[in-house]
């Protein structure tokens, strides 16, 4: 009989409740002040500026509607967080002080920003807070916007009320291109998803929305010149041009550029659904419902392709004001080109050598269209070719070698390799993925060509309900890497601050935590007990979805229409509970024997609660429908792993050592638990392994 089966139910439920409380505790450290991203220069000074409902605001120098709108949004967020009510009038959202010297908050803005932000705009600001006044100074309203986000994070409270600590900040971003790519093609993402993620981007000072709008699974933008594209290629789910204008306006108000992507010549199924004659193989074509690299590709030898692109890209160039337009250009497997003798003859007749040559030919033709309409070309790193026009930006996703090759050829670059947040890697992996690391092999001139980077949220395995949980809060770590100095790289401190930024994101309306309890209740069903739901919640806090592209190996039957609400969808990409547990294990093992008692008690409480929850969840899942039952082996493994951890902890506390044979047996148990089931894995195995090694003879 398993240990937990003999535990009285009230005591077991109490331990589950305690474990759920411990789940939240690591994310909050009330004694410290935390910012993300960390400013370029920061110095704490003596004092604090008290904040109450009498807050007075003054504007110096420049004053316009954009500045007032930015300030209004900031004050409303402070009100919602503090429950204070700032002064306002019937005609104004806030009261301006006539004398800046007497105001508590002074916004000193030298000039307006552009109506639509552009690459290279000045985003710098200074912020000085004393016991009497906070002064935010910036060369333009864009800098004010960035500085207000810092100020919004600074406010905190104690027994005496709300306040901002005294500080001096001089801040400017390290990289000019700091982006997030959203993909509404694989799974449709409506307007509210885009807007709330724009709010989150502004909060962590990201400044580019890379909008991936065409794909094998959907054509997501309205075309008035060729309406058949979106009408036949989208299942009726697309952004109208008015909605696109609204997104651009909404983004611009938050200092964010919108760069559209129309993927070509590959990933082209949605193009050729309505225009099979433009494909490189005979149609008909239908929208793809699964994921992968598909064969359909536009025919570079067909002049009708360029006629349609002339119409469409000209229309999109007028719709999207940013100078840059992304053409994709990735993952063309070449099968349809290879099978088309006419295309192969075109390659021979024009000395293009191979498929890479005709791809470069296509890119030059597209680039000429873009230049005609005032746009600059961006493409994934497959577009890199000796014939690639010098002004094209290469977006590197396959590796640092591609970034180095692009800069060596004189091309500006953007890094996304290492920032694929859809692959569910931990925030630390992204955090230490620097576009220009200290040991970079790039020359100083090549380094100047690295514009920055982008997190990429491909949407094969997300829906509007789950997408926020895959982006946030981990993308805040990427935002810091792209904004803050390279020397800001303390991983443990990053995780500590990530807990704070997660709360700020919730306050801004993000659903990365909000949706999970409802999803768990839905999974559990109407007849689940409170104890079962509590145990299932703890279990989900302790598991992670599989990494890289392994999910498709487990759920290969899934299509675009399959609901995504399984255990893997509820689990966070990274278990911050397990991360904190791992840190505590390290602290425990490195502490002197006479200083271990409190840490040992904490670890024992957690492991016992895990063991209890695992038994409850195992029994529950085994009696559930197949979609849930598939996760039962993971719960069983968690039970065994928790028992191993407790046995190791007991030996360490007693000062004894298990024999080597015990160690071998326990490591075998951990190895078995490492096997993936139902697209799930247990992330605490490394920490348990450390306990086993410490508890056994060499």
Could you give the residue numbers annotated as active site?
A: 331
- Other residues' Cβ atoms within 10 Å of the Cβ of residue 369: 20
Q: Where in 502-596 does DSSP place strands (E)?
A: 544-545
- Other residues' Cβ atoms within 10 Å of the Cβ of residue 203: 23
Q: Which helix (H) or strand (E) holds 376?
A: strand 376-380
Question: For residue 362, with 0-12 CB atoms within 10 Å meaning exposed, 13-18 middle and 19 or more buried, which class applies?
Answer: buried
- Other residues' Cβ atoms within 10 Å of the Cβ of residue 318: 11
Q: Are strands 208-215 and 177-182 parallel, antiparallel or unpaired?
A: parallel
Coil, helix or strand at residue 506:
helix
Residue at token pair 């309505």: 274
Q: How far apart are CA 149 and CA 204, in angstroms?
A: 8
Task: Point out which residues pair with 325 in neighbouring strands.
Answer: 377
| Residues 6+ positions from 203 with CB-CB distance below 8 Å | 149, 152, 501, 504, 505, 508
- What six digits make up the tokens of 350? 């024009």
- Cβ contact 577:23 at 8 Å: yes
Dmax (CA) for the chain in angstroms is: 82
Q: How far apart are CA 133 and CA 131, in angstroms?
A: 6
Range 392-396 contact pairs with CB under 8 angstroms and sequence separation of 24 or more: 392/363, 392/367, 393/324, 393/451, 395/326, 395/454
Residue at token pair 């690459």: 119
Q: Which of 469, 562, 551 is nearest to 517 (CA)?
A: 469
Question: For residue 630, with 0-12 CB atoms within 10 Å meaning exposed, 13-18 middle and 19 or more buried, which class applies?
Answer: buried
Q: What is the DSSP string of 258-306?
A: EEEEE--SSS-HHHHTT-GGGBSS--------S-S--S--B-TT-HHHH
Q: How far apart are CA 609 and CA 181, in angstroms?
A: 39
Please state whether 424 falls in left (phi above 0), alpha (psi between -120 and 50) or beta: left
- Other residues' Cβ atoms within 10 Å of the Cβ of residue 115: 10
Q: How far apart are CA 449 and CA 445, in angstroms?
A: 7
Q: How far apart are CA 645 and CA 688, in angstroms?
A: 5
Q: How far apart are CA 661 and CA 641, in angstroms?
A: 17
Coil, helix or strand at residue 171:
strand
CA 599, distance to chain mean position in Å, is: 33
The DSSP secondary-structure symbol of 423 reads G
Q: How far apart are CA 463 and CA 197, in angstroms?
A: 14
| Residues 6+ positions from 302 with CB-CB distance below 8 Å | 277, 278
Q: How far is CA 535 from CA 18, 539, 612, 614, in A?
A: 11, 6, 8, 7
Q: How far apart are CA 281 and CA 582, in angstroms?
A: 54
- What six digits make up the tokens of 14? 């109490």
Peptide bond before residue 425 is cis, with ω within 30 degrees of 0: no
């Amino acid at each position: 009989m398993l240990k937990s089966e003999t535990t009285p139910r009230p005591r077991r439920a109490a331990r589950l409740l305690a474990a759920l409380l411990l789940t939240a505790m690591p994310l909050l450290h009330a004694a410290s002040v935390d910012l993300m991203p960390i400013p370029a220069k920061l110095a704490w000074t003596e004092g604090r500026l008290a904040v109450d409902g009498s807050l007075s605001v003054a504007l110096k120098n420049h004053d316009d509607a954009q500045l007032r709108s930015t300030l209004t949004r900031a004050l409303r967020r402070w009100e919602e967080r503090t429950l204070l009510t700032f002064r306002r009038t019937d005609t104004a959202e806030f009261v301006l002080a006539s004398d800046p010297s007497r105001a508590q908050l002074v916004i000193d803005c030298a000039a307006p920003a552009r109506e639509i932000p552009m690459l290279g705009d000045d985003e710098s600001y200074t912020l000085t807070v004393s016991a009497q006044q906070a002064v935010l100074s910036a060369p333009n309203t864009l800098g004010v916007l960035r500085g207000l986000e810092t100020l919004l994070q600074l406010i905190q409270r104690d027994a005496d009320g709300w306040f901002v600590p005294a500080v001096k900040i001089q801040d400017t971003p390290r990289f000019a291109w700091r982006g997030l790519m959203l993909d509404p093609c694989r799974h449709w993402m409506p307007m509210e998803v885009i807007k709330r993620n724009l709010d989150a981007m502004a909060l962590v000072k990201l400044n580019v929305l890379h909008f991936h709008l065409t794909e094998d699974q959907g054509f997501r933008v309205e075309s008035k010149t060729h309406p058949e594209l979106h009408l036949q290629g989208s299942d009726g789910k697309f952004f109208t041009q008015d909605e696109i204008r609204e997104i651009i306006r909404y983004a611009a108000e938050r200092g964010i550029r919108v760069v559209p992507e129309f993927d070509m010549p590959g990933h082209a199924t949605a193009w050729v659904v309505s225009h099979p004659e433009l494909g490189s193989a005979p149609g008909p074509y239908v929208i793809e419902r699964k994921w992968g690299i598909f064969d359909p590709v536009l025919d570079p030898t067909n002049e009708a392709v360029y006629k349609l692109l002339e119409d469409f890209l000209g229309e999109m160039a007028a719709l999207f004001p940013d100078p840059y337009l992304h053409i994709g250009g990735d993952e063309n497997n070449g099968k349809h080109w290879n099978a088309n003798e006419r295309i192969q003859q075109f390659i021979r007749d024009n000395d293009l050598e191979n498929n890479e040559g005709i791809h470069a030919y296509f890119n030059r033709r597209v680039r000429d269209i873009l230049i005609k309409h005032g746009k600059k070309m961006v493409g994934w790193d497959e577009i890199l070719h000796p014939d690639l026009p010098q002004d094209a930006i290469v977006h590197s996703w396959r590796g640092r070698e591609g970034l180095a090759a692009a800069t060596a050829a004189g091309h500006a670059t953007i890094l996304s390799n290492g920032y694929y947040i859809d692959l569910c890697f931990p925030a630390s992996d992204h955090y230490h993925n620097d576009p220009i690391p200290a040991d970079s092999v790039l020359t100083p001139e090549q380094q100047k060509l690295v514009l920055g980077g982008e997190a990429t949220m491909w949407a094969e395995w997300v829906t509007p309900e789950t997408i926020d949980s895959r982006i946030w809060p981990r993308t805040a770590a990427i935002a810091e890497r792209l904004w803050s100095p390279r020397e800001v790289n303390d991983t443990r401190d990053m995780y500590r601050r990530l807990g704070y930024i997660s709360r700020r994101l919730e306050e801004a309306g993000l659903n990365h935590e909000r949706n999970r309890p409802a999803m768990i209740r839905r999974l559990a069903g109407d007849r689940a007990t409170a104890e079962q739901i509590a145990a299932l919640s703890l279990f989900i806090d302790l598991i992670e979805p599989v990494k890289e592209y392994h999910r498709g190996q487990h759920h290969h039957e899934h299509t675009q229409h399959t609901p995504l609400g399984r255990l893997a969808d509820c689990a966070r990409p990274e278990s911050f509970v397990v991360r904190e547990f791992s840190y505590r294990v390290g602290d425990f093992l490195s502490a002197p024997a006479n200083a271990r008692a409190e840490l040992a008690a904490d670890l024992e409480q957690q492991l016992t609660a895990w063991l209890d929850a695992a038994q409850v969840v195992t029994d529950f899942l085994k009696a559930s429908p197949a979609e849930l039952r598939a996760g039962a082996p993971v719960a069983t493994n968690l039970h065994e792993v928790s028992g191993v951890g407790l046995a190791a902890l007991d030996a360490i506390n007693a000062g004894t050592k298990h024999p080597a044979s015990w160690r071998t047996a326990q490591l075998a148990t951990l190895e078995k638990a490492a096997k993936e089931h139902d697209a799930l894995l247990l992330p605490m195995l490394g920490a348990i392994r450390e306990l086993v090694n410490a508890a056994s003879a060499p």
